[in-house]
Amino acid sequence: NSEISLFETNIRFMGSLLACYALTGDVMFRDKAAQLGERMLPAFQTETGIPHSLINLHTGTSKNYGWASSGCSILSEIGTMHLEFTYLSDITNNPVFKSKVENVRKVLKSLDKPRGLYPNYIHPRTGKWGQRAGHSTLVWREIDTAFNSRISTGAIVNTDYIDPLRFLQDVKNIVLEHVRSVMKRHGSIKVNTVFNGEFVADHMSLGGLGDSFYEYLLKAWIQSGKEDIEAREMYDEAIAAITEHMIKTSPGKLVYVSDLKYDRLEHKMGHLACFAGGMFALGAKTVENELSDKYMNIAAGLTNTCHESYDRSVTKLGPEAFHFIEGNEARSLKNGEKYYILRPETFESYFVMWRLTKDPKYREWGWEAVQALEKHCRVPGGFTGLNNVYLADSAKDDVQQSYFFAETLKYLYLLFSDDDLISLDDWVFNSEAHVLPIKGNPLYRPASPL
């Protein structure tokens, strides 16, 4: 009887139940997955069918995070349910699950994409990028101040806008009216303009908030036995736009994918985006065309850059985020970015790149990581994250993440396994590395038609 993440419940709990059913055939796992799916459905009961981020599985009430762009849903979350809900419908003969995620895709496909890119936020009420429904509530609000010498202090609080220019245009008359009023009474005025917060409409990312949406477009096509042409087309269009606008090469010749905020590149890459090397490679190898070599080169470049972020640290483990400034590339520049919390994304790309290219360096890099984990993260109770990868004796965070087992260790183990152990021809990995069968795999186990 509490609020939990719909997205995390799906990739962790639903994904693991479905994987267990595929691998064992035990209907208990299928039935539990169906029960969980039914409890998750109320999150989709919005004006557009775009689900909320948080749900109470006991009461069925749902809502979005308060911090997410004025009540918006998040691209990576709403787009990372297709594999699980499609498979759940196929093994239960209940089309409702598949219909929910197909509607989400329909809404996203119908929207105009700025430069072909998908912003990270969408409002479930309007179905528009990062916009709050309803009328503007812009008013001048007096604010108490501790400085007695101030005549008055006030602000216009933004709760509706995500576009800075539109906000400034709409507040202009309110500000001018207030300024004129003060000038009439006092003859002078001091104006400070401060933006406290962040306008996020035009934030595009292949890291957190965006990442697995793109991954699931590609994998939905693969999971369907390459029958879901719409998914592949949406993936190809999105990747072409990402390649044009967000893939960059540093002065030191490192390939990286940068977040894009209000038309400005951040020249920073997060660890979460390190899965992208494997995704680019999987996309290139599953459709051979004139772009395949280009995308494989990007895949290799991104994976190399993520390895460099590890290799340039004292612990040989990668920071949460790293920058690309000449003379200081693939390194974290802020204390709040120097931690490592047992993340798997770099090892995921090593695994996929090894399977698809057989270049031995990916196993060599994986073994470096195993040794670093053993040396710096193993403790008597298990494994822990590090507060600072640039310190040999970094303080530990005393947290063993569940994805360390589901993803990190799994990808490292499979990196050194034979190709027929969870073959990429038969299985797709969900965003938590739980394995789901591809149509045609005998373990797909579809339900008999009613």
Is 237 catalytic? The answer is no
d(CA 379, CA 97): 42
Catalytic residue among 236, 308, 345, 348: 345
Amino acid identity for residue 169 in this structure: Q
Counting as low any pLDDT under 50, the low residues of the chain are 131-137, 145-148, 159, 197-200
Task: Specify the CATH architecture of the domain 1-128+202-219.
Answer: Alpha/alpha barrel (1.50)
Helices 27-40/15-24 angle, 10° precision: 160
- Token pair 């009461």 is found at 59
Catalytic residue among 3, 8, 102, 163: 8
Q: Is the dihedral of CA 110, 115, 116, 122 positive or negative?
A: negative
pLDDT score of 326: 81
* DSSP code for 228: -
Task: Evaluate whether 295 touches 284 at the Cβ level (below 8 Å).
Answer: yes
Q: Which residues contact 443 (CB under 8 A, 6 or more apart)?
A: 22, 23, 25, 426, 437
Catalytic residue among 77, 90, 211, 329: 211
* DSSP code for 395: P
pTM value? 0.86
d(CA 38, CA 57): 9
Number of helical H runs and strand E runs in the chain: 15, 19
Is 348 catalytic? The answer is no
Q: Which residue in 34, 59, 26, 30 sits closest to 45, CA to CA?
A: 59
Where exactly are the structural domains of the chain?
A: 1-128+202-219, 138-186
Annotated binding site for Ca(2+): 431
CB atoms within 10 A of CB 348: 28
How far does Cα 130 stand from its chain's mean position?
16
Is 8 catalytic? The answer is yes
Strand stretches in 99-181, DSSP E: 121-122, 140-142, 154-156
Task: Evaluate whether 92 touches 30 at the Cβ level (below 8 Å).
Answer: yes
What digits encode the pLDDT tens for the residues 222-280?
999 999 999 999 999 999 999 999 999 999 999 999 999 877 899 999 999 999 999 99
Q: Bridge-partner residues for 54, per DSSP?
A: 5, 63
Annotated binding site: 431
Strand stretches in 87-246, DSSP E: 121-122, 140-142, 154-156, 203-204
pLDDT score of 173: 76
Catalytic residue among 84, 202, 320, 407: 320
pLDDT score of 263: 79
| Per-position DSSP letters for 327-382, written without gaps between them | TEEEE--SGGG--B----HHHHHHHHHHHHH--THHHHHHHHHHHHIIIIIEETTE
